[in-house]
Amino acid sequence: MLASVDSAPTASTTGAIINRESREPPAGRWSGRLPLGVVLGLFLTAGMALAATTFYTSKKNEGRSEDGVAKARATSVASLVEECGAALNGDYTRCVSTTSLGDTSLADAGVSLGPGKGKVVVQDTAGAIEGLYPGGAGRYTVVAHSKTGNRFTVTKDENATLTRTCTRAAAHGCPAGGEW
């Protein structure tokens, strides 16, 4: 009777005999395989490193995104104040309330007027609302309060020049120069 080709021992190119059924290399030779525990350990270590890096990066960028929202709100409200002032021949004194800026427009912009984190304050001639940022008939100041504590301000002066400043220079979304 003839032996099966798969179970017959054969000589390898190195002269060692390998049993084709077990496919095990001769003793003392590396098989090219890592033990399962080593492989799982490597995957777990890499996964934990990736998770830690992602967590750190997201926390670091969280303030930037909050400040980005505040900047967008300041810009949106400044645009609404400009529209209101244009309708009143450049007089911004009546463009400080939800009524004058339009409830729907503010809601569409995701803005809530008033002091406090996440809200926006608009100032006119008399310093309406809080009385901290004096404006004038041809000027105004919009201050968006970020949840990071930063304040982003858009000011139009008597020369119709717009400036954008922030209170915490080089922190989160406020550039080092304090202007954005």
pLDDT in tens, 105-152: 888 888 888 888 889 988 765 454 433 344 556 788 899 999 999 999
pLDDT at 74: 92
pLDDT tens digits, 42-80: 777 877 777 766 666 555 566 678 899 999 999 999 998
Specify the pLDDT at position 60: 58
Q: Please tell me the distance from the alpha carbon of residue 19 to that of residue 27, in angstroms, as a whole number.
A: 12
Report the 10 Å Cβ neighbour count for 129.
18
Dist. CA 70–CA 61, nearest whole Å: 14
DSSP states of 32-88 as a string? S---HHHHHHHHHHHHHHHHHHHHHHHHHHHHHHHHHHHHHHHHHHHHHHHHHHHHT
Domain extents in the chain: 61-166
Provide φ and ψ at 65, rounded to 5°: -70, -40
**Neighbouring C-beta atoms of residue 61, cutoff 10 Å:** 13
**Predicted pLDDT at 134:** 44
Model pTM? 0.62
